[in-house]
Amino acid sequence: MLAPFRLKPWFSPRPWGRRSLEPWYSGAQVGTSEPVGEAWLTGPQSIIETGPLAGQTLAEAASSHAPEVLGTMPAAIAPPPEFPLLVKLLFPADKLSVQVHPDDAHAQAMGQPRGKTECWYVLSAGPGAQIALGFNPALKPEQLSAESVRAAIAAGTLEGLLEWVPVASGDMIFVDAGTVHAIGPGMVLLETQQTCDITFRMYDYGRPRELHVENALRVMKTHTAAGKVAARKLGDSSGRHPFTRLIEQKYFTVDRYDLAPGEQVSVPANNPGCLVALSGAATIAGDSEPAIDALPGHAIVVPVSHRDLTIRADSAASLTHCWAP
């Protein structure tokens, strides 16, 4: 039986990112002075820090220990064996590009295994923080034609076609594949998505990066299911510790556990997923293995060979459980 294991985040420099990721990570952890936009917590190149697989990447572990890590996955997930969720922290200091991701059908038509549906959990947000989520519903159909959107991109007016939504700490945002979207500065987001890195940039504020206008126009949708999602408090009659279901969608579910000092809770582990510590000090243990320290901003992968994991809080602690149905 494969024990739970912690991953070292992989940091992705981006022109819209931050030079300091404090208090999440120290400069020594990040290892670069470039602006960093994303910390990939379950990236295929993330290195395992604990247990017998220490030193391997998550991609290597998912391939060599697929039954223990992934269980029996649907055909849409494999081949090749691949961890189904890419979980990240996003640190925008400037606007991200206006972009769109393909759904499964469009991605597979391009020879890729899957598309990219995602969600954003807002961990912190300053005054005026906002995201763009789809087109303004007041626009007429002719304003949303491929020709009109292409013209707005060329004229630098695409932002004016979008629906800008204010966000605050604790908001959960569902971003359906095909949704034209953008993220503004002044926030930290926990992103959970299908393991896919296909992004079609439509507009990038004059930054010297490649745009993918024709592909974006091909996969964008004028109406999607994207939007804010209301959290639900859950628990069961057997006395299971109450938790908060932040989102439940086709490709992922994200739950939040908030524990008082000394409190202990059992988390089901029969689906591939991970636990991400957001704050406080806690340990996570499987059936009989030594406990692992849950470090804020790090993911602990939950092998499906375990039925339950135990979280014990040494101080007040909050963690999310991100898992694939």
CATH code for the domain defined by 232-323: 2.60.120.10
Query: Count of alpha carbons within 13 Å of 325, Cβ hemisphere only?
Result: 7
- In angstroms, the CA 253 to CA 201 distance is 27
- In angstroms, the CA 267 to CA 258 distance is 12
Tokens encoding 19: 């030079």
Q: Is the peptide bond before 242 cis (omega within 30 degrees of 0)?
A: no
pLDDT in tens, the chain (325 residues): 788 999 999 999 999 999 999 999 999 999 998 999 999 999 999 999 999 999 999 999 998 888 888 876 544 444 567 899 999 999 999 999 999 999 999 999 999 989 999 999 999 999 999 999 999 999 999 999 999 999 999 999 999 999 999 999 999 999 999 999 999 999 999 999 999 989 999 999 989 999 999 999 999 999 999 999 999 999 765 556 789 999 999 999 999 999 999 999 988 887 889 999 999 999 998 777 789 999 999 999 988 877 778 999 999 999 999 999 8
- In angstroms, the CA 169 to CA 267 distance is 24
Task: Please name the residues in contact with 206: beta carbons below 8 A apart, sequence gap of 6 or more.
Answer: none
DSSP 172: E
- For residue 222, the tally of other CB atoms under 10 A from its CB is 16
Residue type, 74: P
Task: Please name the residues in contact with 178: beta carbons below 8 A apart, sequence gap of 6 or more.
Answer: 100, 101, 102, 103, 106, 219, 220, 221, 224
Domain limits of the chain?
5-225, 232-323
Annotated active-site residue 6? The verdict is: no
Say whether 232-323 and 5-225 share the same fold.
yes
Secondary element (H or E) of residue 104: helix 104-109
CA distances from 80 to 63, 64, 68, 152, 279 (A): 8, 11, 15, 39, 34
Per the residue annotation, which of 201, 209, 245, 312 is the catalytic one? 201
pTM reported for the whole predicted model:
0.94
DSSP three-state, residue 203: strand
Q: Which fold has domain 5-225?
A: Jelly Rolls (2.60.120)
Secondary element (H or E) of residue 317: strand 317-323
Edge-first strand listing for the sheet containing 10-18? 10-18, 36-40, 85-90, 187-194, 118-125, 172-175, 227-229
